[in-house]
Amino acid sequence: MVTGRLRTAWRAAHAPVPGVPRWARLAAYAVPFTVLPSSLWRLPLVFRDGVGFGERAYIVSLSVVSELVAFTAVGLVAAWGERFPRWIPGLRGRTVPTPVAVIPAALGAVVLTALWTYAFVTVPAGVTLGGEPIPADFPTQAGGWEAAIFYLCYLPLLLWGPLLAAVTYAYHQRRRKH
């Protein structure tokens, strides 16, 4: 009984609101899936020898936080992106001001697009984002199937920023009409 109510509440909160174009809904739901392969690729690194507790915590946290941040794109098409959820004290049920959602989403889209485009230029060239040489034991330097899997897992990140930008645009267009 409780499970049924939770499931119904979950669906209601994450269902697209009226006026959301189908393409925007699909793009918003695709965003977390663009991040998932790289998040999953990192997790086996936790079990390598010589990896300390702090590094393990960082790797797991990076994967979890990346997915949570990516999931916020769903808020741009769902009810919780237009009205603050009940569990937020002082704001519960109030309308989310359009700029509160649009400004961080637009900035995020720009930063993500620039970051992942830059990464896909520098990493194949054997250089980190900071300009240092990539270690020889890193999968992109090893070549073969390890490099291929790395690129297959990270390539979808090129879509994160543009998808978020498109969904942000649709959110802005829909909300400015009200």
pLDDT at position 130 is: 85
- Taking only the tens place, the pLDDT of each residue in 49-106 is 888 999 999 999 999 999 999 999 999 999 888 888 888 888 888 889 999 999 999 9
For the chain, give the longest Cα–Cα distance: 57
- Taking only the tens place, the pLDDT of each residue in 105-125 is 999 999 999 999 999 999 888
Paired tokens of 139: 């999968």
Say yes or no to pLDDT of 1 above 60. no
Residue that has been written with the tokens 């889209």 in this structure:
109
Is there a contact between 30 and 159 (Cβ–Cβ < 8 Å)? Answer: yes
State how far the Cα of 133 lies from the Cα of 128, in Å rounded to an integer: 6
DSSP state of 85: -
What confidence tier does 47 reach under pLDDT thresholds 50, 70, 90?
confident
HSE (CB half, 13 Å, CA atoms) of 103?
Answer: 5
Name which of 24, 29, 61 is nearest 46 in CA terms.
Answer: 61
What confidence tier does 135 reach under pLDDT thresholds 50, 70, 90?
confident
